[in-house]
Amino acid sequence: MPETPPRPEPFIPQTAPAALDDLRTRLRATRWPDAPQDAGWALGTDLDYLRELVAYWADGFDWSAQEAALARLPRFRVPLGRLGIHFVHARAVAPAGPALPLVLSHGWPDSFWRYSKVVPLLTDPAAHGGDPADAFDVVVPDMPGYGYSDAPVGAPLDSIAVAGLWAELMGVLGYERFGASGGDVGSHVSRYLALDHPDRVVAVHRTDAGVPVFLGDRADLAPPERDWLDNVAAWGVSEGAYAAMHRTKPQTAAFGLTDSPAGLAAWIVEKLRSWSGCGGDIERTFTKDEILTNITLYWLTGTIGSSMRMYNANAAIAPAQLTRRVEVPSGFSIFQGDVVRPPRAWLERTANVTYATEPERGGHFAPFEEPELYAEELRAFFRPYR
């Protein structure tokens, strides 16, 4: 008999009151570090800011309201590759013609949360000032070990393996051909979807070009490309300690971050601030409720350790894989506030670029920071490939 295909089941989590009581108890019992006077954010997360955020988390933040808001998205779980995978699956609303299926891949430190604002803009453009012909069927999975998806029991999965799972997921949902988009780790996954499934991926959109790998003679690079490699290396020296920890000893950090909600908040908040387009004022871009929704998802699912371990898996990917050129039509929206921004010459070297823009607002978390702008980027890029 043929094997029965996996069947998605609706998924609406409801947090037990005891879990929230435990969280608040831990927050109120935080043992705070000292900090040099006027250190601010120069040495990492600002002590005064985190004290304020933690106090609100303990006594003002309404997780139940945020959980209910997220439940308005149509969410499911399905068994794939011996893992339960959580995903949003929102179908187009009254499309003018066939809707293009689109799988959106998030990065670290987040989950499906990254795309929670943009889903209705993509599924129902007419309700948001757009053309109904630009409607998408949207699929937003949590990567294994992130959010409400299971963590691998043994070795963590790398981006190549996750891309294979996403191709399987889209098949389970009945989509033989589809678009892909992502940023951060999700850019990596989207790239491998295009590389390994070019017969199914009609086009791929990314908000970054990943960490550059070049095995040739630097003299063969254009000056902007050489500058790009130097800038990325300099950024790694000044800002890359987190990634070195994730790649090499993620389990060591996981003990403290899984035990202390204040520590978890410090680890994540500093990245939301420094990687976004907030200009140093984190609450210019994210409200406290938005920040804490992302962090609380990590806390309640206990996934900070498993999410970091994916860096370890990706560090073992062979250089020959990292230097493959994407021939599927590729689009890039390089937002002005992102951390490292590749030049057009590098994009052309690594992909078949048919679309490249540099939106003036937004940063590393563009779908959440600037959902309308991000949605318009996707509509414009994918329009010829429907």
Q: What are the residue ranges spanned by the domains of the chain?
A: 9-385
Name the active-site residue from 184, 188, 208, 374.
Answer: 184
Q: pLDDT at residue 1 above 60?
A: no
| Token pair listed for 178 | 């589809």
Distances (CA, A) of 114 to 105, 121, 289, 334, 344: 9, 14, 14, 17, 26
3-state secondary structure of 256: helix
Burial of residue 373 (number of CB atoms within 10 Å: 0-12, 13-18, 19+):
middle
The whole-angstrom separation of Cα 78 and Cα 313 is 23
Which is nearest to 106 in space by CA: 138, 79, 134? 138
**Letter for the amino acid at 78?**
V
- Report the CATH fold assignment for 9-385: Rossmann fold (3.40.50)
The whole-angstrom separation of Cα 186 and Cα 1 is 36
The question of whether 184 is a catalytic residue gets the answer yes
The whole-angstrom separation of Cα 263 and Cα 266 is 5
pLDDT digits (tens, 9 = 90+) for 355-371: 999 999 999 999 999 99
**Letter for the amino acid at 24?**
R
Helical H segments across the chain, by residue range = 17-28, 47-59, 63-70, 119-123, 159-172, 185-196, 223-239, 241-248, 250-259, 261-275, 288-301, 304-315, 319-322, 344-350, 366-369, 371-382
Q: pLDDT at residue 165 above 60?
A: yes
| Token pair listed for 250 | 């993620």
Confidence of residue 49 (pLDDT cuts 50, 70, 90): very high
3-state secondary structure of 127: helix
Name the active-site residue from 86, 188, 205, 364.
Answer: 364
Biggest distance spanned by C-alpha atoms of the chain: 70
| Token pair listed for 95 | 């499309």
Which is nearest to 108 in space by CA: 50, 159, 48? 159
- What letter would DSSP give residue 208? -
| Token pair listed for 273 | 């601030």
pLDDT digits (tens, 9 = 90+) for 150-163: 999 999 999 999 99
Angle at 195 between CA 322 and CA 180, to 5 degrees: 110
Q: pLDDT at residue 14 above 80?
A: yes
Contact 284/292 with Cβ under 8 angstroms?
no
Distances (CA, A) of 27 to 41, 49, 132, 297: 21, 14, 46, 15
pLDDT of residue 2: 57
3-state secondary structure of 37: coil
Q: pLDDT at residue 3 above 80?
A: no
pTM > 0.85: yes or no: yes
Q: pLDDT at residue 249 above 90?
A: yes
pLDDT of residue 97: 86
pLDDT of residue 5: 82
**Letter for the amino acid at 243?**
A
pLDDT of residue 329: 98
Q: pLDDT at residue 352 above 60?
A: yes
**Percent of the chain topping pLDDT 90:** 96
- Cross-strand bridge partners of residue 332: 206, 356
The whole-angstrom separation of Cα 16 and Cα 260 is 19
The whole-angstrom separation of Cα 82 and Cα 241 is 33
Contact 347/96 with Cβ under 8 angstroms?
no
Mean pLDDT taken over the chain: 96
Confidence of residue 96 (pLDDT cuts 50, 70, 90): confident
Distances (CA, A) of 63 to 68, 142, 291, 294, 299: 8, 20, 12, 11, 12
**Burial call 276-309: b when 16+ CB within 10 Å, e when fewer:** bbbeeebeebbeebbbbbbbbbbbbbebbbbbbb
pLDDT of residue 16: 97
